[in-house]
Chain A
Amino acid sequence: MTPKHLTIALAGNPNSGKTTIFNNLTGTRQKVGNWPGVTVEKKEGRINRFGHDLTVVDLPGTYSLTPFSIEEVIARNFLLDETPDVVIVIIDASNLERSLYLATQIRELDCKVLFALNMADLAQARGMKIDARKMSTLLDLPVMFTVGNRNEGMDDLLRAAIDLAESTAPLPRSRRVKYTHDIEEAVARLRDFMLSRTDGNLPYPPRWTAIKLIEDDQIVQERLTAAAPAAGPAILEAGRAERRHLAERYDEDPQIVMTDERYGFIAGIVREVQSAGTRQRVDLSRTIDLVLTHRFFGFPIFVFFIWAMFQLTFTLGEYPVQWIEAGVKLFTKAVGGLLPQGELRGLILDGVIAGVGSVIVFLPNILILFLCIAIFEDTGYMARSAFLMDRIMHLIGLHGKSFIPMLMGFGCNVPAIMAARTLESEKDRILTILITPFMSCSAKLPVYVVLAGAFFGAHAGTVIFGLYLLGIALSILTGRLFRSTLLKGADAPFVMELPPYRMPMAKSLLIHMWDRSKIFLRKMGQVILLGSVIIWALSTFPRDGSLERDYAAEIRQAGAAAEARRTVASDAESREIEEVYAETVAALRRLEKADRTENSLIGRIGRFVEPVFAPLGIDWRGGVALLSGFVAKEIVVSTLGVLHAVGDGEDEGALEKALAEAGMTPLSALSMMVFVLLYLPCLATTAAIRRETGSYRWMFFSIGYSTSVAWVAAFLVYQGGRLLGLA
């Protein structure tokens, strides 16, 4: 007999211990993806227990099913459209009233519901006792005790869920929220009207649909019109009439009245099942908060934590990054030894391996960063950091939680943009993602060091600091601009729970960290691989050898000349000749490489776009270097080196000298640095933007916007400087 398949959905408030229970139930057999079309994580686990094939789905944590946030819409649609066999509602026992608010809403959906009273041990420690049997009787549904972080009660929970799913008893209808007489009458009238007009062909349970129409639920209205096009308008009109009637009767919005009544119903249940304890949190958590959100110490401690996270991510992460770099180099060498000279070798070494290598070097940083963020989230500190920073971030029209992703941007934009996942509101998330690239990432620093070092000497530090400030200023301006135009609309309400501090569980931290890193590796790898192969091809082809100078011949000539001189020279002299010869060859090779790059497609593109960069005081070499910087910003420096025929091993200052000789002035250097600071994010970041916003539209928008801002800013710097007579 094939095992029977059942779908179990887990619902509950954020911080109710839902994810811990999910991890306990499914272990490592999890599949993490996104819900279709949005960036909310979807977690699913398939297990085989008690002779059943079970699919456990972790719904997003929500406080209610009012379709305001995407999480709520997702949770509700899943319950309505996928009709899971049973829904387990995780109830935070120490937070009974608010947990029951969501639970009663799920009850109204007419699905098989089971309550898991979680963390009852915590509630008991606070002097609260909950009578599960009484609750079960009062609500007419099974109630189980669980302690998620000690893995207790899981088997019983699964068993009860399976039993409930397989029971054929009709759904209990009596023990749910009863509204006051007027509302119940209005609901009944509307329900009967709907049934008579549609012959019972409704997309959702009739009573629930009637309630939602009275609550003016847009999504239900749309679905209803789609499902019953003929009767739809009349039903919606009837719903509006009932709304008006009730609004007049109560002198209040019916939704509000109904929310009040649900809480009233819940208060009744809680009075019956909970023997009162202390109302306030007289525990460790409050004491910790006295320090961590203290008026004077709160910020210094926050700054310290952020500093520590930065250090861990980018300093500690630097070691494994170097190992990986060394490993990639070794691998490149080994593969290079196996492949014959030619295009294939170039494609594999400079395209594929270099591309993949450029992604996996980020892995240690990503892992450490996500571990830190998981610790912040799981302990409850993330909410406190938002509490501290909200006042400041609100000035840009952002939520307090945007601060951490933006700050991470100074290290590397890729993890920074992924860190924006912690923001609940989609608008806040997109806005944060759009302004984060203006935080000058660490890969841009080498460019500043070379240019500022060469042209500003002792003031280089000040100039670089100024660039960082410019980036911050522009991100603030951009934030304000977009908030009042593109991403308009009321700010998401700040209303945020400050959950009690909890000891994070190693297992959950690791799962958290690994899941997110996996997404990074898989999705980024594809885009970056493609991108770096394209850039490689552009800088390699055409290879028709139509260079004006014949370098091979010149090298041969120099070789012959050296040979001729050596035959008549002493030992010391011949060593000198040898050296001169080697230098000549190296110089010729560099010239050849510069020449080749100039003749390659990317060089031609550079020539082609020269007029675009000319008003910024950037020559075609600078243009090509900037284009190549799309792969990774630090490449700007090495491309400049190649184009100015400066070798890697040459004494410091060679590139600087070459730049100055090519006509670069302090002003044009500044213009170029401003451009580097602001222009399009690197390939990896672009891929991250695409991934995290879920759309190419935002990705191209970000590329276009930042590059336009860069051009205008560099133009103002260069032309403004010239007007002021700064050459």
Chain B
Amino acid sequence: MRLSELKQGQAATVERVGGSGILRRRILEMGIVKGAEIYVEKYAPLRDPVELIVKGYHISLRVEEASQIEVVNVA
């Protein structure tokens, strides 16, 4: 499943970060690596970007960027 398909309040484990170049590298460097737990805190009022909690801090990604991230164990 893609991270961007998760609803507010859902959690999941990162399986794979797709995409390429700077964006992919950046996402990984911010700690969204395989096996990291991720929680969807909320979507912005216009449904984009999305606020996530990972490794104990809050980060926002555009929905388009979040769609590059595959997650499993959605809860």
Listed in ascending order, the chain A residues whose CB lies under 8 Å from chain B are 63-64, 66, 68, 94-98, 101, 255-256, 259-260, 263, 279-281, 286, 293-296, 298-299, 383, 387-388, 390-392, 394, 490, 492-500
Contacts and interface: CB of A to CB of B under 8 A. Distances in A.
Contacts of B30: 63, 98, 495, 497
A298 B45 CA distance: 7
B42 to A, nearest CB: 7
Contacts of B56: 94-97, 279-281
Nearest to B39: A280
Contacts of B53: 279-281
B57 to A, nearest CB: 5
A98 B62 contact: no
24 contacts: A63-B29, A64-B29, A68-B22, A68-B25, A68-B26, A94-B56, A98-B30, A98-B55, A256-B17, A259-B28, A263-B31, A279-B37, A293-B45, A294-B45, A296-B45, A298-B45, A383-B60, A387-B60, A388-B45, A495-B30, A497-B30, A497-B60, A498-B51, A498-B59
Contacts of A298: 44-45
Contact of B57 (A98, A387, A490, A493): A98
A438 B65 CA distance: 31
A651 to B, nearest CB: 52
Contacts of A495: 23, 26-27, 30, 59-61, 65
Q: Could you tell me the dominant secondary structure of chain B's interface residues?
A: mixed
Interface string B28-41: 11110110110101
Contacts, number: 116
B55 A97 contact: yes
B29 A293 contact: no
Interface of B: 17, 21-31, 33-34, 36-37, 39, 41-42, 44-49, 51, 53, 55-62, 65
B61 A98 contact: no
A299 B57 contact: no
Residue among A101, A299, A390, A494 with the highest chain B CB neighbour number at 10 A: A494
Contact of B28 (A68, A256, A390): A256
A493 B37 contact: no
Given A263-B33, A387-B51, A498 B60 contact: yes
Contact of A256 (B24, B45, B60): B24
Contacts of A66: 25, 29
Given A97-B56, A293-B51, A493-B27, 16 more contacts: A97-B55, A256-B28, A259-B29, A260-B34, A280-B53, A298-B45, A299-B45, A387-B49, A387-B51, A390-B48, A394-B62, A493-B23, A494-B49, A498-B51, A499-B57, A499-B58
Contacts of A101: 29, 31
Given A494-B49, A494-B65, A391 B44 contact: yes
Contact of A493 (B17, B22, B36, B48): B22
